[in-house]
Structure 1
């Protein structure tokens, strides 16, 4: 067989394969987006204030321990704690776990909240690194600070679980801020389910560029940094096109580690957070599903789109690379640890739908997309014979990353309206038009790097540079 014939055959095969894959993915995401539209439309009819009041009356038996793992979070941890102190929730404690920070995180919290060292009994439900000291605040009795030997985020969360007093815990990143009703709303499915719901996660929004004062986002503004803008678009697309639909059918394998609540009893039975994996948030959710199905227990894990957690996103290429690489490395790690669940009828919808979906869409997605970009480049270089297929695939990429993003942006503006300015909505839509041509190819390479790290057994979490969220507040102080 001549080389030209082999090339034509291979080119045609890859062309049809990638086009079929993209049509399948677009179909899946379009269905999810339509489902999200009707879900959000139904939610708009609800009186959320009355719903919050009803939950407050029901909630006396479900106090929550809020665990804040902090490693080198000196710039943002005070804002995070202030935001937690403003929460509309009748009974909660705040446990800040300093995971052996090398900056001034520990002393900053001690000084700001007048902390004093105390003796407190530590349960040993989960094995952890050594705790060096426990502090309580003279200003706010519900704030506890734990100083421990560095062991990673998962180990810090396990320490918080051991020390916590209450039957439910909320994990929140040390650089994140909650809206005042966020905890109340994310707890609603747990409150109303008669303990059938054992975990729930909320939406995450990016706070870069927002006006943050005393732990409260007083004005949400779209910044000018293109990396941050593209991540805002990504977050909207991920939450609206994926998690709402997956949650409805109890298919969620990921709820954001930046903001999620769990039943402590079931987490301990499942073994707590895994310290030997990079993606500890996904790994815990998968472990919970697996434990419930192994023991034939009917429990649910839900995503609640309304409660919002604000977090700091990478604003430069290197930090974005580190984040996306470790996300994909963590995804592959969890899928491989529990690979026997894939297509296994024993694990019902998780094994037959969730795992195949995450393998096909989330894991293999960047590999096939890279092949698609290479196919388009080769097709345009090969001449007129392949132009039509290249145009078809380019159009599918645009539909996938641009038009679906635009619908997600409009859905958010219509329902929750986090960014109320019309110009901000048009700014997001304008940037979504460019995603296919620069941002998506970049993140594909970063995610592929995560696969390489996993195959080489490089357990490197990486460190993101924090700049803090109260920039406008600090700027105003400096001006005075």
Structure 2
């Protein structure tokens, strides 16, 4: 019994030490993010007229917007209206219908008056067979590819083959872009201060927002508790994690829901890999490795202001599918690039960024979950002292609350998309509540992803779409 007590205490101590190290990582990222956010806001004061110039200048580089779609009949039309009405001088929208078995293609054909075309294109990347290509008489900038199902990465590669412009923006079909999002994201490419090859924007939860004519006309919080917790989660992930890594030019993920890429580098490294479900992160890591290998000083950036609003899972079942899939994608990416981890050739990326994703993002939820279970067992059998349990509680739950509150503060300090006092109160309350059930549930789901990997279950999984909350604009009285 004494041996068991000593083993349990040692295990808990090691997990506690791990938690302290992880919290230190988070604190460093928070400091980096705050500095980067302050710098961005200072520069933003002088950007208003620059955005107006970009939106009208013939020198602004054209962009191809690639929209992979699979069974998106509930959101596809409203999303396309958003993409077709963005504020940008020259662009094309390419929807890739990836073998949908619902009414996605039919709705597109009917709503946008699509007709078939024999447009030739250069097949630079291998993809599943393209059955038909359509264009719209009503919207000349709109093209639709109908192809055999090959997955999201394969659909994006098909879009790249058909794209006409030197930059492309990858956007999810269940998303809505703010009208100036593309201008803001393209600005770093045009400034000439740095050689930028990728720039990502922030993704926010659309549930609770009112959408009219493809635009978010009123920002609000979801009434659904599952979606509400995701608002905090997204703020923490983007405003702290990605902004912090962008500050040190070691950003390893640009959301597949919204990111702009310079096409020539993506084609050079053979586009998206189709054998991973984390295609967005894998592509960015491969691009970063390419920059290190070629000794280039190009940058991968994240901006906190360009906004893409997306639909979020509303049920625990759908959220489990999404988070388990994300964790599987992370596992695949790290395994694919395992030789870069701790590799001094890749400098800060190999020594800091990749180990962070391995030990904090991949293994962290499982280690924390095991720590909680062992702590409870130790308390039950009186193997763990109360002071130790209190310290563990402080460095896990209370620090988690601090990070969530920090993300809400950064949102209020900088962007203020939720200006109502009521909304801020709800977000603050959720910052406390999520740490007592939502966080642990996510840890369980992400731990289960390892068992899925052992069983080689890399299925994508269908997530139920509920569609956006759509509001018709009020008619002006005569």
Smaller-chain TM-score range? over 0.9
2:151 paired with 1:155: no
TM-superposition CA deviations, 1:267-323 (whole Å, max 9, x none): 011110111101010111111112222222222111111100000010001100000
Which of residues 8, 14, 28 in structure 2 aligns to 1:11?
A: 8
Give the structure 2 partner of residue 187 of structure 1.
186
Q: Report if aligned partners of 1:58, 1:191 keep a CA contact under 8 Å in 2.
A: no
CA 1:382 to 1:376, structure 2 compared with 1: closer, same or farther past 3 Å?
A: same
Q: Distance in 2 between matches of 1:222 and 1:59?
A: 39
Relative distance call for 1:54 and 1:320 in structure 2 (3 A) is same
How far apart are 1:414 and its partner, in Å? 1.7
Q: Which residue of 2 aligns with 1:97?
A: 96
Q: Paired residue for 2:28, among 13, 28, 31? A: 31
CA contact (8 A) 1:55 1:191 kept: no
Distance 1:374 1:201 in 2: 38
Deviation per CA, 1:67-126: give whole Å up to 9, x if none: 000000011111111111221111100001111111100010111111111111121110
**Does the Cα contact within 8 Å between 1:332 and 1:363 map onto a contact in 2?**
yes
CA deviations 1:116-144 (Å, max 9, x no partner) are 11111121110001111111111110011
Secondary structure at 2:466's aligned position in 1? coil
What is residue 40 of structure 1 aligned with on the other side? 37
1:169 alignment partner, SS class: strand
Describe the shift of the 1:430–1:59 C-alpha distance in structure 2 as closer, same or farther (beyond 3 A): farther
1:303 equivalent to 2:302? Answer yes
* Cα RMSD (Å): 1.8
SS of residue paired to 2:131: strand
Q: TM-score, normalised by structure 1?
A: 0.95
> Which residue pairs with 1:423 in the alignment?
422
Range that drifts further, 252-261 or 399-408: 399-408
> Which residue does the alignment assign to 1:343?
342
Matches within 5 A, 1:366-381: 366-381=365-380
The verdict on how the C-alpha distance between 1:318 and 1:175 changes in structure 2, with shifts beyond 3 A counting, is: same
Q: Render the CA deviation track for 1:313-365: whole Å, top value 9, x for unaligned.
A: 10001100000000000000010011000111112222121111111111111
Which residues in structure 2 correspond to 1:164-175 (within 5 Å)? 164-175=163-174
Length, aligned pairs only = 473
3-state SS in 1 of match to 2:408: helix
> Which residue is equivalent to 1:199?
198
Change (3 A) 1:391 1:443: same
CA distance in 2, matches of 1:431, 1:283: 32
Task: Answer whether contact 2:122 2:162 (CA < 8 A) is retained.
Answer: yes
Cα deviation for residue 15 of structure 1 reads: 2.2
Contact (CA 8 Å) 2:9, 2:384: kept in 1 or not? no
For 1:57 and 1:374, the matched residues in 2 are separated by 59
Q: Tell me the distance in 2 between the aligned counterparts of 1:59 and 1:199.
A: 22
1:437 maps to what in 2? 436
1:284 aligned residue: 283
> Alpha-carbon deviation of 1:471?
4.4
Give the whole-Å Cα distance in 1 for the aligned partners of 2:170 and 2:285.
16
Q: Which runs of 5+ in 2 are unaligned?
A: none
| Alpha-carbon distance, 1:171 to partner | 0.3
SS of the aligned residue for 2:385 comes to helix
Report the Cα distance in structure 2 between the residues aligned to 1:325 and 1:239, rounded to whole angstroms: 19
CA distance in 2, matches of 1:320, 1:417: 27
Work out whether residues 328 and 450 of structure 2, in 8 Å CA contact, stay in contact via their aligned partners in 1.
Answer: yes
Q: 1:26 to 1:58 in 2, by over 3 A?
A: farther
Cα 1:190/1:25, change in 2 over 3 Å: same
